[in-house]
Structure 1
Amino acid sequence: MEIGIAFIILAGFVLINIIYYFYLARIGFYKLSENITSQDAVSVIVCSKNEQENLKTLVPLLLEQNHPNFEIILINDASIDDTLELIETFQELDSRIKKVNVINNESFWGNKKYALTLGIKKAVNNKLIFIDADCVPASKDWLQYMADGFVNHKSIVLGYGGYYKKKYSILNALIRYETGMTAIQYMSYALHGNPYMGVGRNLAYTAKQFYDVSGFIDHMNVLGGDDDLFVNQAATKKNTAVVVNPNSFTISKPKDSWATWWTQKRRHINTASHYKFKHKFFLGLYFVSQIGFYLAAIAGFVFGINWMYILGLVLLRYLVMWITVGKGLSRFRESDIIPFIPILDFLLVFTQLGLFLTNLGNQPKRWK
Structure 2
Amino acid sequence: MNFIDFVYYGFIAVVAIQVVYYVFFFSKFAFIKPKKEPTKKIPVSVIICAKNEAKNLQNFLPSVISQSYPDFEIVLINDASTDDTLEVIEAFAANHSNIKIVDVKNIEAFWGNKKYALTLGIKASKNDHLLFTDADCKPLSKYWIHDMCTHFNDEQTIVLGYGAYSKIKKSFLNKLIRFETLVTAVQYFSFAKAGIPYMGVGRNLAYARKEFFNANGFINHIKLRSGDDDLFINQIATKSNTAICLSANSFTQSLPKTTFSDWIKQKRRHISTAKFYKLSHKILLALLYISQLLFWVLAPILLIALFKWQIVIGLILIKLTLQYTMFGMSAKKLEEQDLIIMLPFLEVFLIITQLTIFINNLISKPNHWK
TM-score, length of structure 2 as denominator length = 0.97
The one-letter amino acid of 1:302's match is I
**Number of the residue aligned with 2:71:** 69
Write the deviation string for residues 234-292 of structure 1: whole angstroms up to 9, x where unpaired: 00111111001111000011111101000000000000000000000110111111111
Q: Among the aligned pairs, what percent are the same residue?
A: 47
Which deviates the most, 340-349 or 56-65? 56-65
SS at match of 2:272: helix
Q: Is the contact made by 1:7 and 1:309 (CA closer than 8 Å) also made in structure 2? A: no
**Number of the residue aligned with 1:19:** 20
**Number of the residue aligned with 1:84:** 86
How far, CA to CA, are the matches of 2:27 and 2:327 in structure 1? 7
SS at match of 1:128: strand
Q: Does 1:360 align with 2:327?
A: no
Residue among 236, 243, 257 paired with 2:238: 236
SS at match of 2:75: strand
Q: How does 1:338-353 map to 2 (within 5 A)?
A: 338-353=340-355
SS at match of 2:48: strand
Q: How does 1:292-307 map to 2 (within 5 A)?
A: 292-307=294-309
Write the deviation string for residues 198-235 of structure 1: whole angstroms up to 9, x where unpaired: 00000001111000000000000111100000000000
Write the deviation string for residues 108-139 of structure 1: whole angstroms up to 9, x where unpaired: 11110000000001100010000100000010
What is the CA-CA distance between 1:105 and the residue it aligns to? 1.2
SS at match of 2:227: coil
Q: How does 1:87-98 map to 2 (within 5 A)?
A: 87-98=89-100
How far, CA to CA, are the matches of 2:319 and 2:99 in structure 1? 51
SS at match of 2:131: strand
What is the CA-CA distance between 1:148 and the residue it aligns to? 1.0
**Number of the residue aligned with 2:194:** 192
**Number of the residue aligned with 2:269:** 267
**Number of the residue aligned with 1:212:** 214
Q: Is the contact made by 1:36 and 1:144 (CA closer than 8 Å) also made in structure 2? A: no
Write the deviation string for residues 47-73 of structure 1: whole angstroms up to 9, x where unpaired: 000001111122211111111100000
What is the aligned length?
368
Which deviates the most, 309-318 or 3-12? 3-12
What is the CA-CA distance between 1:36 and the residue it aligns to? 4.7
Q: Is the contact made by 1:161 and 1:252 (CA closer than 8 Å) also made in structure 2? A: yes
Which deviates the most, 199-208 or 15-24? 15-24
Write the deviation string for residues 134-163 of structure 1: whole angstroms up to 9, x where unpaired: 000010000101111212431111000001
SS at match of 1:131: strand
**Number of the residue aligned with 1:336:** 338
Q: Bigger relative contact order, structure 1 or 2, given CA contacts below 8 A and separation 6+?
A: 1
Gaps spanning 5+ residues in structure 2: where? none
Write the deviation string for residues 166-224 of structure 1: whole angstroms up to 9, x where unpaired: 22211111111110110011111111111000000000011110000000000001111
TM-score, length of structure 1 as denominator length = 0.98
Q: Is the contact made by 1:36 and 1:145 (CA closer than 8 Å) also made in structure 2? A: no
Q: How does 1:57-206 map to 2 (within 5 A)?
A: 57-206=59-208
Gaps spanning 5+ residues in structure 1: where? none
Write the deviation string for residues 312-357 of structure 1: whole angstroms up to 9, x where unpaired: 2212211110001111111110001111101011111111111101
The one-letter amino acid of 2:222's match is M
Q: Is the contact made by 2:106 and 2:112 (CA closer than 8 Å) also made in structure 1? A: yes
The one-letter amino acid of 1:100's match is V
